[in-house]
Amino acid sequence: MSTVFSRGREPLFNSPGNNKRRFNLSRYFAVISLIGIFVFVVASTYLYRNIAISAIKDHQSRANVDLARAFANSIWPRYQSFVTTKAAQLSSKELRDHVEIEKLKNDVDSQMQGLNVVKVKIYNLDGLTVFSTDPGQIGIDNKHNPRFTLARIGKIASEIELQNIRDDQQDEIEHTVLSSYIPIRKAENMPVDAVFELYTDVTELVTRLDETQKQITLGVIISFISLYLFLFAIIKRADKIIKSQDKKYNTDIETIRKHAYHDQLTGLANRTNFHACLDDATKRAKRSGDLLALVVIDIDRFKLVNESLGYDAGDELLRVIASRLPSCVRETDSIYRLGGDEFAIILEKVAHPEDIALVARRVLEALSSPIHIKTNEIIINTSIGISLTNQGHSDAYSLVKEADIAMMNAKGDGGNRFIYFTGELNAIAYDRLTMETDLRNAVSNNEFVLYYQPKILTSTNEIVGVEALIRWQHPDKGLVPPNDFIPLLENTGLINQVGEWVLRTACRQNKQWQDAGHPPVKMAVNISARQFRSESIVTCVRQALYDTGLDPKYLELELTESLFVENVEKAIRTMILLKDIGVYIAIDDFGTGYSSLNYLRQFPVDVLKIDRTFIRDLTTNPKDIAIAKAISTMASSLNMGVIAEGVEDMRQVSILKDNGCNEVQGFLYSKPVAANEIEEFLATGRMLPILTKVKSA
């Protein structure tokens, strides 16, 4: 079945997934990993370059030191005194033009031949440039150069730098050079005599390094991009899976949410939804001052459909009802299934209270047209209770309570109607509540009594039996008739306890009469539907007979017709067990039920009791005569006894006699009376003085 979730405001929450934007894995991965790759490439390039440069520096510095030593060994002895002492006394110009410098240059040039040394400088310990292969620099003071200072105290200091160096054509070309300041001393542990500065050309090395670095960087980038693309493909796939799972999750959440807030059978909003929406609606109505109405709808005798036609039919019926309700209300009104056969409508912004009557009437009408389920045509009635916010209460709880009370009253008044809640109804509901408490006390205080009504054989006016009828001796209200409290006993489940008491008391009473020497009569005991359905009914009857010593053939159980349409198989089983005990079974109020006559063939029934409604107008209504006759004929052909109840008139007796019914029960002979009165009747030879008794009743 496809379920259409409809009508009824959506619940007050949204699924968490609806508000939050979904985490986008691919985008997250793309951004983060690109940044990561970029940072890694830059950092690793930088690191690689630093390491390579420092390796070049180390290597070349060592080479420079070796070179410097070679220079020193070959030329230093010749020039030492000039550099360390003489040079300081000359001006820059004198120094540049000095013959020693000329010689030194030639020596250095010949030494530099074939090497990658591009410049050589010699400083005295005061930092004066005594010699330079670049003559323009001779005489320059270099004492503040930090690397010179380091070399002066015996340390080697190198640095890679860019230098413009003249080529053979005297063009200045930018070279990458490593310049090293190297201390010069005669022997290893001797003091420093002067400082050499050697420039070696590392342009080629650095260019090669740059080339390699470019290749490595490119390689790294390509590897990373490949890895990135590979991972991106995986991530994209993972993202797709997550997305589809996310979608499924959201759909699941949506379904769960719908199931939590909607009734699956009818698709209407459910009770949980109802409470949330009503709460909201009452608050809105309170703020705006608008009239809000709650309409509670209950199907009359729905249980009967369920139990006679099966639960499938019951479900189908509910679906049909739910489908008919929307046509009765405005688009803005919301419909709910509260559970079982109960529905509710919330009507907001009602212009006039009378408008609700229109809706209620529409509902009654819509639901009363025949419903076809399988091969059956079902006609249902509904009881509707209405409560409004403008009656002083505006909270949801009161609205529900009041609509329920009104609905119960509509049901109590026979159903198929709607009732507005009034304060008066509240009093009735209150009465019902106190009655319930009183009833519970009545059970423990033994406030119930049995009255007995004789059953007469019209041919002889003999008492052939009595029916035990319960009364409640209420401490304030006096004698309360059974119709006022039996339904409540049924609803509260107290009926089982009270019913057992009735059975025992009636059996004991009958036995007492017999023990007192009165001619034996049959004792009829009414068994309610709930009592009959209870597991203990058979044991209860057997035990009552056993405990009181009454012969089962003097006990007759009066069952109502409605029992026979509810779970037929179980009813047959129970009746057979009861029959096995030896008691009689009568069908009470025969003709008022809704069941088919089919059951009569299947059930082990002994007696039919024609209902009072057919007897009442017997003298005036020929149709009632026909019914009484039909029932009597049917009973006799099915080998059953027949008795008419509610006989108040001698003419009714003669009509019944003429139509084959010879047993009667009614006020004509006697109202239900206390046990001692029955004893009197029995003592007078079971002859009932009709007229005198009726007069005195």
Nearer to ligand C2E, 87 or 470 (CB): 470
- Does residue 561 belong to the site contacting Mg ion (CB under 5 A)? no
| Residue among 683, 589, 6 at smallest CA distance from 335 | 6
Residue 381 binding result from Mg ion, ligand C2E, none, given CB thresholds of 5 to 8 Å by partner type: none
- Does residue 197 belong to the site contacting Mg ion (CB under 5 A)? no
- CA angle, 510 as apex, 506 and 515 as ends, to 5°? 145
The number of C-alpha atoms within 13 Å of 496 and in the hemisphere containing its C-beta is: 13
Residue 672 binding result from ligand C2E, Mg ion, none, given CB thresholds of 5 to 8 Å by partner type: ligand C2E
Q: Where are the alpha helices (DSSP H) in 295-352?
A: 302-309, 311-324
- Does residue 333 belong to the site contacting Mg ion (CB under 5 A)? no
Beta strands 641-645 and 607-610 are: parallel
CA distance 649 to 158: 142
**In which residue are the tokens 């109505």 written?**
285
Nearer to ligand C2E, 239 or 558 (CB): 558
CA distance 391 to 421: 9
C-beta separation of 61 from 180 below 8 A = yes
Nearer to ligand C2E, 322 or 468 (CB): 468
CB of 602 to ligand C2E, least distance (A): 23
Site string for Mg ion, 594-633 (x = CB under 5 A): ----------------------------------------
DSSP labels, 530-571: HHHHSTTHHHHHHHHHHHHT--GGGEEEEEEGGGGGSSHHHH
Nearer to ligand C2E, 293 or 583 (CB): 583
DSSP annotation of 270 reads -
Of positions 348, 556, 558, 624, contacts Mg ion by CB under 5 A: 558
| CA R_g for the chain | 58
Q: Is 669 left (phi over 0), alpha (psi -120 to 50) or beta?
A: alpha
- The residues, ordered by sequence, that sit 6+ positions from 409 with a Cβ below 8 Å of its Cβ are 385, 419, 425, 428
DSSP annotation of 89 reads G
Nearer to Mg ion, 561 or 589 (CB): 589
CB of 588 to Mg ion, least distance (A): 4
CB of 310 to Mg ion, least distance (A): 29
CB of 411 to ligand C2E, least distance (A): 19
- Residue ranges in 482-541 that form contacts with Mg ion under rule CB under 5 A: 526
With residue 376 as reference, give the H or E element that holds it: strand 376-378
Nearer to Mg ion, 201 or 558 (CB): 558
Segment contacting Mg ion (CB under 5 A): 187-195, 264-272, 348-356, 555-563? 555-563
Tokens of 620: 């005036």
CB of 587 to Mg ion, least distance (A): 10
CA distance 231 to 225: 10
Of positions 298, 402, 438, 588, contacts Mg ion by CB under 5 A: 588
CA distance 697 to 681: 14
Nearer to ligand C2E, 453 or 548 (CB): 453
Tokens of 199: 């420039």
Residue 481 binding result from ligand C2E, Mg ion, none, given CB thresholds of 5 to 8 Å by partner type: ligand C2E
**Dihedral of the alpha carbons of 368, 374, 375, 376, in degrees to the nearest 10:** -30
Nearer to ligand C2E, 49 or 612 (CB): 612
CB of 653 to ligand C2E, least distance (A): 11
Nearer to ligand C2E, 438 or 588 (CB): 588
CB of 452 to Mg ion, least distance (A): 12
Residue 470 binding result from Mg ion, ligand C2E, none, given CB thresholds of 5 to 8 Å by partner type: ligand C2E
CB of 664 to ligand C2E, least distance (A): 9
E runs forming strands in 186-224: 192-201
Nearer to ligand C2E, 510 or 665 (CB): 665
Provide the 10 A C-beta neighbour count for residue 324.
16
Nearer to ligand C2E, 438 or 645 (CB): 645
CA distance 119 to 97: 19
CB of 651 to ligand C2E, least distance (A): 13
The number of C-alpha atoms within 13 Å of 99 and in the hemisphere containing its C-beta is: 0
Nearer to ligand C2E, 356 or 673 (CB): 673
- The residues, ordered by sequence, that sit 6+ positions from 477 with a Cβ below 8 Å of its Cβ are none
CB of 609 to ligand C2E, least distance (A): 7
Residue 267 binding result from Mg ion, ligand C2E, none, given CB thresholds of 5 to 8 Å by partner type: none
- Residue ranges in 627-666 that form contacts with Mg ion under rule CB under 5 A: 645
Segment contacting Mg ion (CB under 5 A): 142-150, 281-289, 290-298, 589-597? 589-597
CB of 691 to ligand C2E, least distance (A): 15
Residue 125 binding result from ligand C2E, Mg ion, none, given CB thresholds of 5 to 8 Å by partner type: none
Tokens of 196: 């050499």
E runs forming strands in 444-596: 448-457, 462-474, 478-480, 522-527, 555-560, 584-590
Nearer to ligand C2E, 184 or 610 (CB): 610
C-beta separation of 144 from 127 below 8 A = yes
Nearer to ligand C2E, 297 or 537 (CB): 537
CB of 648 to ligand C2E, least distance (A): 4
CB of 676 to ligand C2E, least distance (A): 18
Of positions 298, 589, 624, 663, contacts Mg ion by CB under 5 A: 589
Q: Label residue 689 exposed, middle or buried (CB < 10 Å: 0-12, 13-18, 19+).
A: middle
Query: Residue 336: phi, psi to the nearest 5?
Result: -135, 150
Residue 604 binding result from Mg ion, ligand C2E, none, given CB thresholds of 5 to 8 Å by partner type: none
CA distance 109 to 454: 156
CB of 499 to ligand C2E, least distance (A): 6
CA distance 516 to 680: 12
Nearer to Mg ion, 341 or 645 (CB): 645
Residue 482 binding result from Mg ion, ligand C2E, none, given CB thresholds of 5 to 8 Å by partner type: ligand C2E
CB of 371 to ligand C2E, least distance (A): 30
Nearer to Mg ion, 404 or 558 (CB): 558
Provide the 10 A C-beta neighbour count for residue 376.
13
CA distance 359 to 325: 10
Query: Residue 593: phi, psi to the nearest 5?
Result: -75, 180
Residue 77 binding result from ligand C2E, Mg ion, none, given CB thresholds of 5 to 8 Å by partner type: none
Size of the site for Mg ion (CB under 5 A): 5
CB of 567 to ligand C2E, least distance (A): 19
CA distance 135 to 128: 13
Binding positions for ligand C2E, rule: CB under 6 A: 453, 468-470, 481-483, 486, 499, 502, 526, 528, 558, 588-589, 612, 645-648, 665-667, 672
What is the binding site for Mg ion (CB under 5 A)? 526, 558, 588-589, 645
